[in-house]
């Protein structure tokens, strides 16, 4: 198979009456759809006329089309139809603000935005403000599962690559990084990137053995995220089975959705296990068909407790939008070292890796260093992203020296197991000590007062950096209780971490700055941290940080 569409078509022909998508009750109610299954043949019957309509309207190889369709079934229909024509899709998160939408429209150069009716005006306004000739097509065809009408024609110019063959190297999607520390970068991803992801997943084996035409994969992750597009979707296209794409993660109804859909594989991000564990234990905690969880970022202190309570392993993996599965690592074999932030051992046949210091020298075993990766063989970039759109300099900087610089700080043990420490840009350097923001956040989040926390560096005239924690409390905190609450948080931290890692400031905030994919907006947090000390809601706790006596 050379395209995602061709793979979908082949699998649909092999299991036409089987379930391709399952819409459980909560998602159905949210989107106003009928709950239940959509078969492979039924979906294929919608993709083909949609492909013909796009072709008749002039869309073709080299065009980009934005999809602002949330996690709805129609996203898949439009993606596959456009992919057949060599059109690259640009998923657009429905929560983007006006400035973010203007940037994406202008930067991506999309010729058309397929959007929900509720967002059409916003899309048109954003396009107008940046001088784009973008067409917006509002469609809710999935309500009736009938062929939509009114598709706008393509731009007057022909498709940029008309006449060229469409294959594995054709751009399939343009996915934007979360932009946690700057403007989002557009990662150009070819068909090969997605096809490799499906093959990699299907062949993992061990604890992550995938049963052909059997698994039912449930995910609440957004289709603007590489996990949902490249992992959960592509394993179903590759191995058959059914995809249960939720509108989002609903903690209160999660297990009901899992049981209703007969899910066997769960895709997760780290916040999900923590929220599910916070609910009171129930006799029905193990009344489900889930065999494994596939994800990343589970709090190491909660990892074992989750598996013991709910009865299935959470298989931690590491990848980036830029790497895809060309340099993906997964803890799918024992020993998994649960509770240590281990994400497995790299496949030495497929990829190479190094851990380096700031000067690019290899670090010792057990010491943290930046993870550098590349594909094995003659082409170190094979299977990776094609580059950052309109930013060749950033692409080459990321690949300096022939290795992709991930920006993640990782340590390795003598057996080759890799352990995540933090993002390089999140590391706080206080009096010569490197402090992981993620490590401090993990401890703070265990305090009963804390709903969420985010840690950043704030300038300190003596120590260079000081640790500042922004905390969202579970209940409103009166101003007169802030000092005592901050003291309690620092004392809690000191029971588990070295004194220098404890917060020197605790700022009580109403909300954390988050990206649309619910990651901490580190750039905005860093800017906040500079100005928070001295404000009434920020408590100075530096006096509590004392080196313990020998």
- Give the pLDDT of residue 347: 94
Contacts of 280 (CB under 8 A, 6+ apart): none
CATH of 1-191, one of 3.40.50.980, 3.60.10.10, 3.40.50.2000, 3.90.420.10: 3.40.50.980
Question: Which tens digits make up the pLDDT trace of 357-410?
Answer: 999 999 999 999 999 999 999 999 999 999 999 999 999 999 999 999 999 999
**pLDDT of 140 above 70:** no
DSSP state of 99: H
> Which pLDDT band, with edges at 50, 70 and 90, does 143 fall under?
very low
pLDDT at 11 (0 to 100): 98
The average pLDDT across 496-514 equals 93
Q: What is the pLDDT of residues 274-315, one digit of tens each?
A: 889 989 999 999 999 999 999 998 989 899 999 999 999 999
- pLDDT over 90 for what percent of the chain? 80
Q: How far is CA 112 from the centre of its chain?
A: 25
pLDDT in tens, 445-502: 999 999 999 999 999 887 889 999 999 999 999 999 999 999 999 999 998 888 889 9
E strand intervals along 346-423: 351-356, 369-375, 404-412, 417-423
Q: Which residue has the tokens 């990782």?
A: 410
Q: Hey, where are the domains in the chain?
A: 1-191, 427-544
Distances (CA, A) of 91 to 107, 135, 225, 396, 493: 13, 16, 9, 25, 40
Specify the pLDDT at position 99.
80
Q: In the prediction, which pLDDT does 144 show?
A: 40
Task: Tally Cβ neighbours within 10 Å of residue 425.
Answer: 15
- What class does CATH assign to 427-544? alpha beta
Average pLDDT of 126-152? 75
Q: Is the model's pLDDT at 548 over the cut of 80?
A: no
Q: What DSSP string runs through 318-361?
A: E--TTTTTTT-EE--SS---TTTTEEEE--TTTEEEEEE-TTSP
**Residue 182: pLDDT band with limits 50, 70, 90:** low
d(CA 23, CA 207): 27
- Strands of the 292-296 sheet, one edge to the other: 36-39, 19-23, 242-245, 216-219, 265-269, 292-296, 314-318, 329-330
Give residue 153's pLDDT band: very low, low, confident or very high (50, 70, 90): confident
pLDDT of the residue at 145: 44
Q: Sign of dihedral through CA atoms 56, 60, 65, 69?
A: positive
CB atoms inside a 10 Å sphere around CB 56: 11
Q: What is the pLDDT of residues 240-258, one digit of tens each?
A: 999 999 999 999 999 999 9
Residue environment code for 410-420, b if the CB has 16+ CB neighbours within 10 A, otherwise e: bbbeeeebbbb
Per-residue pLDDT at 542 exceeds 60:
yes
* Residue among 218, 203, 329 at smallest CA distance from 272: 218
Q: CA-to-CA distance for 65 and 110, rounded, in angstroms?
A: 5
- The pLDDT score that the predictor gives to residue 146 is 45
Tell me the C-alpha distance between 486 and 475, whole Å: 15
Residue 141 reports pLDDT greater than 60: no
What's the pLDDT score for residue 354? 98
Q: Report helix, strand or coil for 292.
A: strand
Cα gap 6→279, rounded to integer Å: 43
Dist. CA 361–CA 376, nearest whole Å: 20
Mean pLDDT of the chain: 93
CB-CB contact of 77 with 251 (8 Å)? no
Q: What is the pLDDT of residue 467?
A: 96
């Amino acid at each position: 198979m050379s395209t995602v569409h061709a793979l979908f078509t082949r699998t649909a022909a092999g299991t036409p009456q089987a379930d391709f998508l399952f819409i459980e009750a909560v998602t159905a109610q949210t989107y106003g759809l009928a709950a239940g299954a959509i078969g492979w043949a039924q979906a294929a019957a919608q993709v083909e006329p949609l492909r013909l309509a796009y072709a008749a309207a002039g869309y073709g190889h080299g065009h980009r089309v934005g999809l602002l369709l949330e996690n709805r079934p129609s996203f898949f229909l439009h993606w596959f139809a456009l992919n057949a024509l060599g059109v690259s899709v640009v998923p657009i998160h429905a929560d983007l603000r006006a400035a973010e939408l203007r940037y994406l429209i202008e930067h991506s150069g999309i010729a058309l935005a397929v959007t929900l009716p509720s967002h059409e005006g916003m899309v048109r306004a954003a396009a107008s403000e940046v001088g784009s000739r973008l067409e917006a097509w509002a469609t809710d065809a999935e309500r009736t599962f009938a062929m939509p009408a009114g598709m706008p024609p393509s731009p007057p110019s022909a498709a940029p690559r008309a006449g060229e063959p469409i294959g594995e190297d054709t751009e399939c999607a343009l996915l934007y990084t979360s932009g946690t520390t700057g403007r989002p970068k557009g990662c150009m991803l070819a068909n090969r990137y997605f096809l490799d992801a499906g093959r990699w997943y299907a062949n993992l084996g061990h604890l992550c053995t995938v049963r052909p035409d059997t698994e039912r994969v449930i995910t609440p992750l957004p289709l603007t995220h590489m996990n949902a597009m490249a992992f959960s979707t592509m394993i179903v296209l590759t191995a058959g089975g059914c995809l249960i794409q939720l509108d989002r993660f609903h903690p209160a109804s999660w297990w009901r959705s899992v049981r209703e859909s007969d899910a066997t594989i769960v895709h997760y991000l780290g916040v999900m296990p923590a929220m599910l564990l916070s609910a009171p234990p129930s006799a029905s905690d193990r009344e489900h068909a889930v065999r494994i969880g596939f994800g990343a970022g589970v709090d190491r202190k909660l990892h074992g407790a989750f598996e013991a309570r709910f009865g299935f392993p959470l298989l931690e993996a590491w990848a980036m939008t830029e790497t895809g599965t060309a340099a993906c690592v997964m803890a799918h074999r024992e020993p998994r070292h649960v509770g240590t932030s281990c994400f497995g051992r790299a496949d030495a046949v497929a990829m190479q890796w190094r851990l380096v210091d700031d000067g690019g020298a290899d670090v010792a075993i057990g010491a943290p260093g930046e993870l550098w990766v590349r594909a094995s063989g003659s082409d170190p970039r094979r299977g990776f992203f094609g580059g950052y759109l309109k930013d060749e300099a950033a692409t080459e900087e990321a690949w300096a020296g022939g290795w992709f610089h991930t920006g993640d700080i990782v340590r390795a043990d003598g057996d080759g197991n890799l352990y995540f420490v933090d993002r390089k840009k999140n590391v706080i350097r206080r009096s010569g000590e490197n402090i992981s923001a993620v490590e401090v956040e993990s401890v703070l989040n265990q305090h009963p007062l804390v709903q969420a926390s985010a840690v950043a560096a704030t300038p300190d005239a003596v120590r260079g950096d000081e640790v500042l924690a922004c905390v969202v409390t579970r209940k409103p905190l009166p101003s007169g209780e802030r000092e005592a609450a901050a003291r309690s948080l620092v004392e809690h931290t000191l029971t588990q971490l070295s004194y220098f890692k404890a917060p020197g400031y605790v700022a009580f905030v109403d909300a954390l700055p988050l990206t649309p994919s619910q990651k901490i907006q580190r750039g905005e947090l860093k800017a906040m941290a500079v100005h928070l000390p001295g404000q009434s809601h920020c408590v100075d706790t530096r006096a509590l940080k004392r080196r313990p006596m020998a």
